[in-house]
Chains A and B, each alone.
Chain A
Amino acid sequence: MTGASGSKMGSTIGSKIASTFRRILDSDIWYKFKQDPIVITATIVGLILILSSAFAPLFAPHSPFDLKTLNLSDAFTPPAWIEAGKSQFLLGTDDQGRDVLSTIMYGSRASLVVGFAAVLLSMVVGITLGLMSGYFGGALDAFIMRIADVQLSFPAILIALLISGVARVVIPNSQHDQVAIYVLIFAIAASGWVQYARTVRGSTLVERNKEYVQAARVIGRRPLAIMFAHVLPNVLGPVMVLATLHIGTAIITEATLSYLGVGMPATQPTLGTMIRIGGDFLLSGEWWILWFPGLALVVLVLSINIIGDWLRDALNPKLR
């Protein structure tokens, strides 16, 4: 029985996704997308950045972490188009002889991994809690929502900082570097789940009162699973908008934490770490160590935000 209902649910979700896709291609959204050059540019740039950093090992001209390839005499080389620059280090090198371009690629990769993972975790937790909160109601709902309210009064950065700080004390020094990435992901995810929970809870409350849920209970099916299959398509739009904008925020939060010195360790630098290092050398003239990672960060987040912003306007029925 469960097998049949399971596959039926799968086909419901599957067919809903397929029909959604068809509707998107045929819809106003795709039309608007094709019409808006800024969004297209942003998407292309974003994709380039994401792909090049995802496949950094393939694309990067150097491996900045392979100590064997580093040569201190290469340190502080300016970008290739300046006199004294070398063509093999297109954007120059930092204080340890690491190629800035490669470090940007690897750094972006780390930033993106943390960003996406954090948002994913945040979404999963938020959606689950929102679903449970809306469905079960009562004390569970009140409890979860209280926590959400309290948490909302604190900015994400503070929560992330607290979690990082606590982790530093709790986790023995030797393991700091290894778990740093997980702590970071957890910290950023913990600070952002509320928005998803609230949206899903709202939608769940609406669905819960519908008759098919009560009917399912009467028949003996598990109403929760069925509701899940029906709530999801409704929240997909808003959640996607939230998630896209959240990725931008998550990347900035990670960069900030790394800049402040409580994010990723120096051995696995992200864009934030590089900016901090670059800041030290700014006044002595090696501007490229700061500027290029900074630029990369801004372009990355900007393109994501442009897409998210456009998505929100496109999905908003009131603005059509």
Chain B
Amino acid sequence: MLAFIARRLLQSILVMLTVGFIAFSLFNFVGDPVALMLPPEATQADRDEVRKSLGLDKPFYTQFAVFVQNALQGNFGISLRLGRPVSQLLAERLPATLELVGVATLLALLVGIPVGIYTALKRDHWSSQVLLTGSLIGVSLPNFLIGIFLIIIFAVWLGVLPSFGRGDTTQLGFWSTGFLTVSGLKAVVLPAVTLGFYPVTLIMRLVRSEMLEVLRTDYIKFARARGLSNQAVHFGHALKNTLVPVITITGLQLGGLIAFAIITETVFQWPGMGLLFIQAVQFADIPVMAAYLCLIGFIFVTINLIVDTLYYVVDPRLRMETSSAGGH
């Protein structure tokens, strides 16, 4: 088990270095790195000093090493657009995005899994066909359009939910949460539903296809041959085997959700990292882009690591307990 974790850790570090390298290239070769690190009023003397301190006269790999060192300390320079340290900006916005993604994922699982199971078990019923068609439509709707439609219906026509912003937030240490106020909770509903729409359809279709696949296996046939009840077969055997790959794939999707949040945050003006990133792209704010990239890379890599470990824990076949097969 230890060897497994060590190997995956090594891979993760490799990926992080690659991502860091790309971010570093962005930093150094796209635009002027000196200007990126200094506010615009800096003098030439300042620039020369920064140039030296940045080691831009040094060879490539040294620069990269410095970059990595800086990055590990959380120093990504100053935002061109807002003039504040990038790490600070990201830290401020992180809770908003994570809360949004968290609610959306929860929603996706709570809706997607049961519906997926239902459409697999009752596959010939008309309701399943309706749900499947619905899922197809769901996959064809762009994230932003869903958001707009929801705003139209719930904010404009019905007026029950806010159409932008995060509502009132409470500060818990460094984390600002919107869950402790009514307006905060109301504000997270529409964005979370928008963000979760696509994952719901994905999870639903995944669960359905996995379950159909599992229901065709020999061990299910054998379980039926032993006279086990439908409940035992479907929810005892089939469900566990279905959910194992589903949960892990969903974990991997989680990282993707954080990136998709970019769109949702734009539609709802949700003050998260995604909105920051989009504004950075529009403004060509390289430090923010590079930092976001590194942060996302880190989050993805961590999630992948956790998911792999989870797989290991859940599927007994992966644990290499060498028990001798003990004769025939």
List the A side residues contacting B301 at CB < 8 Å.
Answer: 153
Contact with B along A69-95 (1 / 0, CB 8 A): 000000000000000000000000000
| In the assembled complex, B19 has its CB within 8 A of some CB on chain A | yes
| In the assembled complex, B242 has its CB within 8 A of some CB on chain A | no
The verdict on A157 contacting B255 (CB below 8 Å), with A165-B289, A302-B140, A305-B140 known, is no
List the A side residues contacting B3 at CB < 8 Å.
Answer: none
List the A side residues contacting B139 at CB < 8 Å.
Answer: 248, 305
Number of A-B contacts (CB under 8 A): 104
9-residue interface stretch from B108-116, B174-182, B273-281? B273-281
- A298 pairs with B141, CB closer than 8 A: yes
- A155 pairs with B145, CB closer than 8 A: no
- A279 pairs with B142, CB closer than 8 A: no
Chain A: CB-nearest residue to B299: A153
| In the assembled complex, A166 has its CB within 8 A of some CB on chain B | yes
Instruction: Give complex CA distance A297, B143 in Å.
Output: 12
- A150 pairs with B140, CB closer than 8 A: no
The verdict on A282 contacting B148 (CB below 8 Å), with A166-B26, A301-B140, A305-B140 known, is yes
Chain B, interface size category, equals: 35 or more
Within 8 A of B (CB), among A258-304: 259-262, 272, 275, 279, 282-283, 290, 294, 297-298, 301-302, 304
Q: From DSSP, what is the main secondary structure of chain B's interface residues?
A: helix
Chain A, interface size category, equals: 35 or more
Partner among A153, A255, A302 whose Cβ is within 8 Å of the Cβ of B137: A302
The verdict on A165 contacting B281 (CB below 8 Å), with A158-B259, A290-B148 known, is yes
Partner among B31, B152, B281 whose Cβ is within 8 Å of the Cβ of A262: B281
Q: How far is the CB of A320 from chain B (nearest CB, A)?
A: 13
Q: How far is the CB of B272 from chain A (nearest CB, A)?
A: 14
- B281 pairs with A255, CB closer than 8 A: no
Instruction: Give complex CA distance A262, B289 in Å.
Output: 14
Counting chain A CB atoms within 10 Å of each CB, which of B19, B133, B282 scores highest?
B282
List the A side residues contacting B143 at CB < 8 Å.
Answer: 256
Instruction: Give complex CA distance A305, B256 in Å.
Output: 21
Partner among B145, B256, B296, B300 whose Cβ is within 8 Å of the Cβ of A298: B145
| In the assembled complex, A169 has its CB within 8 A of some CB on chain B | yes
Instruction: Give complex CA distance A306, B263 in Å.
Output: 25
| In the assembled complex, B293 has its CB within 8 A of some CB on chain A | yes
Instruction: Give complex CA distance A282, B297 in Å.
Output: 37
List the B side residues contacting A170 at CB < 8 Å.
Answer: 30
Contact with B along A155-181 (1 / 0, CB 8 A): 101100110111011100000000000
The verdict on A260 contacting B278 (CB below 8 Å), with A150-B18, A169-B284, A282-B152 known, is yes
- A283 pairs with B156, CB closer than 8 A: yes
Chain A: CB-nearest residue to B286: A169
Chain A: CB-nearest residue to B19: A150
List the B side residues contacting A169 at CB < 8 Å.
Answer: 30-31, 284, 286
Partner among A157, A168, A306 whose Cβ is within 8 Å of the Cβ of B136: A306
| In the assembled complex, B189 has its CB within 8 A of some CB on chain A | no
Excluding A155-B256, A301-B142, 10 further A-B contacts by CB distance (< 8 Å) are A153-B255, A161-B277, A161-B278, A164-B281, A256-B142, A259-B144, A275-B148, A298-B137, A302-B136, A302-B140
